[in-house]
Structure 1
Amino acid sequence: MVFKRRDRRPLWKVIADFFWPKGGWARAFTYVKHRLHRLPDPPERIARGIFAGVFTTFTPFYGMHFIVAGTLALILRGNIPAALLGTFFGNPLTYVPIGVISLQTGHAILGRHTLAEDEISRSLGGKFLDAGEDLKNNVLAIFSDHEADWHGLHLFYDEVFLPYMVGGIVPGIVTALAAYYISLPVITAYQNRRKGVLRAKWAAIKEKKAQKENASIEADGRGKGD
């Protein structure tokens, strides 16, 4: 296959690169920033796309963030590639604080007792994995003799998904608005500077072309004079 890696990475390397990409997270964020700057769309649309992507990271739809961000960007008439890049705001370094803030806020809004931070960070990923396993088993039960058991998924919805969904709205909007208002002037300035550079290059090309044409005309004139 053309796009298949020649060097197959071992499992430990794949996991390590997920938590710490090659070159570090600073390099990864720099790459995302340059990709956002070079998107061919007005700054307002790109900023709305970033809003959609950042907000999506505060939703509990893990594994579907690209779909949710793209759909939200479409609704907001934002740039869809910018929305997809904006979801990189959610990464192994930020998912735990995002989960803690969203769950704590959700339990507070729903009038429930708040959870200890270490309890959330220790069990959040495991609960999502357990819910995915239960969902898979229940789907397989439709085509087998096993009995579907929705009790675990009901508890997951009540204790994790619903509080996460409700609690992620407020901090998600606040963070996404901050990303919007920070990125808009930065992208505008970058595009204006880029346009200025392109105009300068185009003017230099035209001037060089004109100089060649003048030189050619002068050469022809001297040839006829001779």
Structure 2
Amino acid sequence: MGWRRTGRYMVHRVGRMPGSPYGIAAGLACGAAVSFTPFIGLHFLLAALLAWMLGASVFASAVGTVVGNPWTFPAIWIATYRLGRNLLGMEGSAARAEWLTMQVLADSPGQLLLPMAVGGLILGTIAWFATFLLTHRLIAGYQAARARRCRSKANGTRANGTGANGTRIAGNGSSGAGQKV
């Protein structure tokens, strides 16, 4: 399965999620925002909790955590760490990959986790709004178009107002019912 096909499939799956456009978009945004926190093992739980608090889709929040993945985490971690250090006014040398070990993290978590948490809060908030604004309108449009297609199928009409045999259906603005197109 190619990337384009996978992407289209995911768009359809998200659009068909049960719930309002707000609930789905806010859930996706919660998952994306939580991906910017340094608490890797807790992303699903934190996203679900945030979605629940906002009245959003908990399932969509789990899908939204896909923003944090092995390809994006290095960039996210560097950005959150640097932003957090700048906001906290931390001086001295920044963390280097050589000394970012579990032992260093256990001995002095404030040197690494605090800047990442502060930076993650800011970048996560930006990610929440960006994700929500991008997805809300798209989901609303997708759901409206899908509802129109479902109504057309239920009425036996196509999207262009014709029946299965090519005749216009009465009540759709045509001059007469049953005329061959």
TM-score w.r.t. length of structure 1: 0.63
**C-alpha distance in 1, partners of 2:74/2:50?**
23
Contact 1:32 1:85 in 2 (8 A): no
Counterparts of residues 140-219 of structure 1 (less than 5 Å): 153-155=106-108, 157-204=109-156
Q: Does 1:92 align with 2:92?
A: no
Unaligned 5+ segments in structure 1 are 1-21, 132-150, 209-226
Deviations 1:85-132 (A, max 9, x none): 00001112211111111000111111113766xx65x459x53xx26x
Aligned counterpart in structure 2 of residue 108 of structure 1, from 86, 106, 112: 86
**C-alpha distance in 1, partners of 2:64/2:116?**
20
Counterpart in the other structure of 1:79: 57
What is the number of residues matched between the two proteins?
159
Deviations 1:7-40 (A, max 9, x none): xxxxxxxxxxxxxxx745x555444333211101
- Determine which structure has the larger helix proportion and give its number: 1
**C-alpha distance in 2, partners of 1:199/1:99?**
47
SS at match of 1:63: helix
User: RMSD in angstroms over aligned alpha carbons?
Assistant: 2.5
Letter in 2 for 1:39: M
Contact 2:37 2:117 in 1 (8 A): yes
**C-alpha distance in 2, partners of 1:87/1:35?**
15
Letter in 1 for 2:24: I
Unaligned 5+ segments in structure 2 are 158-162, 165-181
Contact 1:43 1:188 in 2 (8 A): yes
CA gap of 1:23–1:45, structure 2 versus 1, over 3 A, is same
**C-alpha distance in 2, partners of 1:93/1:27?**
20
**C-alpha distance in 1, partners of 2:92/2:155?**
63
Counterpart in the other structure of 1:52: 30
Identity within the alignment, %: 30
Larger gyration radius, structure 1 or structure 2: 1
**C-alpha distance in 2, partners of 1:195/1:164?**
43
